[in-house]
Structure 1
Amino acid sequence: MLELPSYHAIAAMVLTIMMFVGFVRGRMSIEIVSLLTIAVIAVGLYFFPLEGTRPIDGLALAFGGFGHYALITICALMIMGRGLVVTGALEPAARVLERVFKTNLQIGLLVSLLIAFVLSMFVNNTPVLVLMIPIFAALASRGAMATSKTLMPLNAASLIGGLATTIGTSTNILVVSIAVDLGMREIGVFDFTPIVLLAALFALPYMWLVMPRLLDDNRAEAQAQVRQFHTRLRVGSQSFLAGQELSTVREKLPGGITFHNPPTGPLQPQQRLHISGSHEALEDATRELKGELAPSWVLDRIKRTASARSEDVMVVEMTVTADSRLITRTLPSSGIADLYSVAVLGIHRPELLMGEKNQYSDGGDLRMKEGDVLLVMGLQEDLQTFARADSLLMLEGARELPRRSKALLSAAIMGFAVFTAAIGWFPIAISALAGAILMFVTGCVKFERVGRALSGQVIVLVAASIAIGRVIDESGAAAWLGEALSLGLGYLPPALVIAAIMIFVTFITNFASNATAATVGTPIAFSIAAQLGIPPEPLVLAVLFGCNLCYATPIAYQTNMLIMAEGKYEFSDYIRTGVPLVLIMVVSLSVLLVLWYGL
């Protein structure tokens, strides 16, 4: 006879349901729901402590998530990812994948999913996602698929890949270890890989073709604001354009760039070409064509000063106001570089895109007027001086130029952290924290800019998920649910027993933790196998699989939270895309386990 759960267990289950409903309804932000959950746990356990504990222990449980190793790990991984972005270390990899995506977006996504799947079979999927997130953020800025449409499928592919071997995730190792302690033979690294590969054949079309369509494009607003800047590209002496006719090399030129009034005849070094494009497209043009958008002497001065002051070079957009002295002047006649040590890289004017050509000087340079938007590069102090002195309005969206001199260093730090975690030298928490510290010490990431790498939403969500998971475990709620499950499975066929165990463990792993699900589910699977007189191995594998089906909530696994900020995901995005994937995997894995073991 099943006894009633303790009032602490009932309260834990009710609080979990309320938190879930709060996330799904979306009337309050994720941060508020998370903080309210932590507050309820803290107050409740202070006045009604768990059996054998003190009131102060409840406070430690409620707020322990803010100092938990999982949160520290996630923050350290975000910092390392930031280091790769600000140094431009992943640009070569992004350009390679960009070529695949340019060939075909769907083929590019499929290749990426397969890469994430295969790597995660042998390497913990957390470092795999850490490497891929900034790459796909760079791809999105270059016109490939939005991060909101790629990161969720990539995360799911990496989780399924980690499911395929005993070394794919730490949870797999935990389940196998518990099963061995209970008397089952030790499962080999690839013993259940064929089952997962077959199930992945059913899941892959969903992740590839359906999941991206269920997610919003988080670039929609940004794309509407992309400005096209007109500028003069100076042909560099090392550029392949030197000595070539523009018409013969057009196919080799970067996309997103428009050439206006293209010259005839061979191009000469330092010849200026009138081009237009977005800021990102202009950067691509200068890198691939080895040209410059401003005089080399001012660009060199900015870089030398930045190095001497240990400051970042910034690129900002500024609007010319009605009382600016720049009105009717051209860039060469304005003296901007001499006066302020900043470089104007381009000018945006909507009328130019409509073909108005009567606003140029005799030398072919654009005369500035009120409302023009200038793309300006320089140090923060110099940019502010320029804006103040010449009556310019600085717009939002300033960005640092990549510190490419540290690109190899940041890539080496990330590679060291990933490698040591992958081969088991250090836990991922230690290697990630060491990598983050090295990013700071070497200057790849600056202390004053670390806030840009971290997401407050993710931090409080992680802390709340850790607290609610501990309450579910320590209150006895998880154990009671397991007992209730075991009582009702004696009359079901093996396939439904396996599916029920998998769904039960999946529920716990999506709302508590993988470790809790493994600890509670494995002994229950053994007990049910003994009651039904069937081998324990397929039921233990059902537990192992269920522990990894953590797609339905952002709190289920650390990589779910890692992608949340970059993909700008809501809680409902995980439910809408994750629940169908969970159902696909539960059905396919349950049937395959029955067939594989001849139940």
Structure 2
Amino acid sequence: MATAAIITLVIIGVAVFLFATDLLPIDLVAILIMLALILTGSISAEEGVAGFSNKATITVVFMFVLSEALLKTGALQVLAQRLSKLFKRNFNLGLLLMMLLIAFISAFINNTPVVAVFIPVVIQIAHRAGLSPAKMLIPLSFASIFGGMCTLIGTSTNILVSGIAEKEGEAAIDLFAMTKMGVILLVIGILYMILFGRKLLPNRANQNLKQKFNLRSYVTEIELLSDSSSVNTAIMDSELVKDLELDVMEVRRSTNQYVQPAGDFILKAGDILKVRCNVDKIKSLKDQAKILVSTPIKIGDDDLKGTQSTLVEMVISAESELHNKTLKELDFRRRFRAIPLAIQHRESISNDGIYDVRLRSGDIILAEVKTHYVKELKRIESDQKAPFVLLSEDMITDFDKPKFIKVLSLILVMVGLAAFNILDIMVGVISCVVALVLLKVLDMKEMYQAVNWKIIFLLAGTLSLGTAMVNTGLDLYIAYFITNQLGGFGPVAVISGLYLTTSLLTEIMSNNASAALMAPIAIATAHGMEMETLPFLITIMFAASATFMTPVGYQTNAMVFSAGKYTFRDFFKVGVGLNLLFWVAASILIPLLYF
């Protein structure tokens, strides 16, 4: 082996160690790889930075923006609310449909923001069903991985492998080239999780999550409008109690007042309900009222028709000017441009309305403000004599049907043109994003903010690994070793070996890094066996994405690992069987479907 190849191999070894141990951020490791390869002469400076202009990197940049545009329409929140009701009726069916839904969405947009949107929803559903969120969060992440494997644009890993192939002179991989194999693995994965995997997940109580998502208790007032589904319904059967589990403390009807009404108390239009609930339930109430229009209500004096708002919690500071005053006296709504929804008082609130509650230091006001005004509240908070301290903020995304139709139409056109090879996928994604900006679905600032630059630097840096392996001949050495050891057993054994190697690498390092490392080897192996490269590249795509045994290999696994308070052992217990199933299925079916 030549000296240059040995140097490259040493750099790869150090990189794998750094990726596996997490001593440095993965994007920084990728840049260090690029610098080390340039300084040792394995690649030129131009080749080192070529990853930033690679088609794969640019495509992924604009895919992040496309994902953000879809999230901004509020469409996923609509789906999440629908799922919430289904889970209450049939948990197993809900889990199945959730995984199918997440997989389908993840096939066409980046799965990281999808999982981010669904994590709090899944936790809320789990609490309502009386289950541990740990029973549902790993299935959420795995479903996003299953779906991402089904199309070229489903995950940055697929785009990266395709970009490496094109750089090495291979034909571009079609948008749906991996779909037939991806759908088979999707079915295997979902069946495994429904029948076996879910039983292997922990069922421990998660106190930290409960504290995080079942937040401080508030008392607020809700007025039932004439067309509310809760009108002429018993309290215990009303949607407010059954779906949102609000605790109705009092009902006011004209001049009559009913304290602690019985469950069979019939609600009427115009009733004002004093309820106790938390922030998450108030947000769900607002989401349902805005999105599903099935519970026409008013919270306080808010008719819930605002757009793009944020819930904020404002705690009254010790020497605040708000102390011992009411919201009415303070002209709170006009002064802070905020609609008060509820107040957390140290004792139960006996007043008729929140505007008449005399505030005390330590009380917390839950209010809704326009999202753009949160910055001004933070400026007020930073003043030396700040009247309040912001504890949290939680953005509410309204469902914007016209924007959703625009985004969905553009995505469908892009997918259609790419599927029939009329338009290159990179050009299609860029065109989509430009159209969205021109149509004012997104502005340029939002476009820049939508990009996960950590992933982009990781892609650009690790692409230099493949170039160095080709320049130094290291890919040929490794390919020769693989074909020499496994080639005699036929392509099934070679595919199996490549899959297993890539899969194990992905479990200890980033999926994109392992794909960048193994794709040149797969190409060289195919050439050495005088066979088409597509089956070998497809193998790398699946093996690099199908990572289930540890939380470190895939970003969505890391997200639910933190949210669900899992241990490495939890992932290993449920993931090892799935990894083995995918390995066996890929080893047998990829040669059958692609050779």
- For the pair 1:458 / 2:459, whether they are aligned, the reply is no
Shift of 1:314: 3.5
Q: Once superposed, what is the RMSD of the aligned Cα atoms?
A: 5.0
**Residue number in structure 1 paired with 2:432:** 435
Alignment equivalent of 1:139, drawn from 105, 121, 146:
121
CA 1:133/1:243 → structure 2, altered by over 3 Å: closer, same or farther? Answer: same
- What 5-or-longer segments of structure 1 have no aligned partner? 51-57, 164-168, 183-187, 307-311, 531-535
Q: Which residue is equivalent to 1:397?
A: 392
Distance 1:24 1:216 in 2: 30
Report the CA distance shift for 1:378/1:200 in structure 2 as closer, same or farther (over 3 A). closer
Q: Distance in 1 between matches of 2:205 and 2:49?
A: 34
Native 8 Å contact 1:506 1:550 kept in 2: yes
Q: Is the 8 A contact 2:310 2:395 kept in 1?
A: yes
Q: How many residues align?
A: 539
Deviation at 1:483, TM superposition (A): 1.2
Quick check: 1:478 aligned with 2:464? no
User: How much does 1:153 deviate?
Assistant: 0.5
What SS class does the counterpart of residue 127 from structure 1 fall into? coil
Counterpart pick for 2:82 among 80, 89, 96: 96
Aligned position for 2:20:
24
Return the offset for 1:590: 3.6
Q: TM-score, normalised by structure 2?
A: 0.72
CA contact (8 A) 2:33 2:462 kept: no
Q: Once the 2 structures are TM-superposed, how far is the Cα of residue 516 of structure 1 from its aligned partner?
A: 8.2
> CA contact under 8 A between 1:505 and 1:547: conserved in structure 2?
no
The answer to whether the 8 Å contact 1:440/1:446 transfers is yes
Moved more, 463-472 or 419-428: 419-428
Q: Is 2:46 aligned against 1:60?
A: yes
The structure-2 alpha-carbon separation of the partners of 1:436 and 1:221, relative to structure 1 and needing over 3 Å to count, comes to farther
Match of 1:342 in 2: 338
Contact 1:552–1:578 (8 Å) recurs in 2: no
The corresponding residue for 1:83 is 69
Matching of residues 129-528 of structure 1 within 5 Å: 129=111, 132-133=114-115, 136-137=118-119, 139-140=121-122, 142-144=124-126, 145=133, 149-158=138-147, 161=150, 208-209=197-198, 220=209, 223=212, 226-249=215-238, 253-262=242-251, 263=258, 267-286=267-286, 287=289, 288-296=294-302, 313-349=309-345, 351=346, 356-357=347-348, 359-361=349-351, 366-379=357-370, 380=373, 383=377, 391-404=386-399, 406-421=400-415, 424=418, 425-449=422-446, 453-489=450-486, 496=493, 499-503=496-500, 520-521=521-522, 524-525=525-526, 528=529
Describe the shift of the 1:225–1:99 C-alpha distance in structure 2 as closer, same or farther (beyond 3 A).
Answer: closer
User: 1:430 is aligned with what amino acid?
Assistant: V
User: Which residue does 2:39 correspond to in 1?
Assistant: 43
Q: Secondary structure at the match of 1:255?
A: coil
> Partners of 1:432 and 1:505 in 2: how far apart?
28
Structure 2: which amino acid aligns with 1:293? I
Question: Are the counterparts in 1 of residues 315 and 391 from structure 2 also a CA contact under 8 Å?
Answer: no
Q: What per-residue deviation string (whole Å, max 9, x for no partner) do you get for residues 115-155 of structure 1?
A: 566x59xxx93438489546524633644557952443013
Q: Is the 8 A contact 1:255 1:281 kept in 2?
A: yes
Letter aligned with residue 283 of structure 2: E
Are 1:245 and 1:267, in contact at CA under 8 Å, matched by a contact in 2? yes
TM-score (norm 1): 0.71
Cα shift readout 1:229-265 (whole Å, capped 9, x = no counterpart): 2211122243233455535535775324222124466
Q: Which runs of 5+ in 2 are unaligned?
A: 127-132, 153-157, 172-176, 252-257
How far does residue 22 in structure 1 lie from its aligned partner after superposition? 0.9
Q: Is the 8 A contact 1:153 1:208 kept in 2?
A: no
Q: Deviations along 1:74-95, whole A, 9 cap, x unmatched?
A: 3333333333334322222222
Q: Which letter does structure 2 place at the counterpart of 1:220?
A: L
Whether the 8 Å CA contact 1:9–1:475 is kept in 2: the answer is yes
Is the Cα–Cα contact under 8 Å of residues 417 and 431 in structure 1 kept in the other structure? no
Q: Deviations over 1:433-487 (max 9, x none)?
A: 3333344444444444556533343233222222323323343222221112222
Looking at structure 2, the residues matched to 430 and 219 of structure 1 have their Cα atoms a distance apart, in angstroms, of 45
Shift of 1:592: 6.5
Q: 1:505 to 1:567 in 2, by over 3 A?
A: closer
In structure 2, relative to structure 1, the CA distance for the partners of 1:212 and 1:465 (3 Å cut) is farther
The alpha-carbon distance between structure 1 residues 436 and 174, as it changes in their structure 2 partners (threshold 3 A), is: closer
Aligned sequence identity (%): 17
CA 395–193 in structure 1, closer or farther in 2 if over 3 Å, else same: closer
**CA distance, structure 2, for counterparts of residue 338 and residue 189 of structure 1:** 56
Is the 2:224–2:270 Cα contact (8 Å) retained in structure 1?
A: yes
Q: State the alpha-carbon separation in 2 of the partners of residues 175 and 215 from structure 1.
A: 44
Contact kept in structure 2, 1:80 and 1:435, CA below 8 Å: yes
SS where residue 322 of structure 1 aligns? coil
- Residue equivalent to 1:70: 56
> Residue by residue, what CA displacement relative to the aligned partner does 1:504-545 show, whole Å, maximum 9, x if unpaired?
5767995667698567536735755x8xxxxx79x9856643
Is structure 2 residue 11 aligned with structure 1 residue 15?
A: yes
Cα distance change on mapping 1:15 and 1:370 into 2, 3 Å: same
2:351 alignment partner, SS class: coil
CA contact (8 A) 2:49 2:460 kept: yes
Q: Measure, in 2, the Cα distance between the counterparts of 1:63 and 1:171.
A: 15
Residue 109 of structure 2: which of 127, 139, 144 is its match? 127
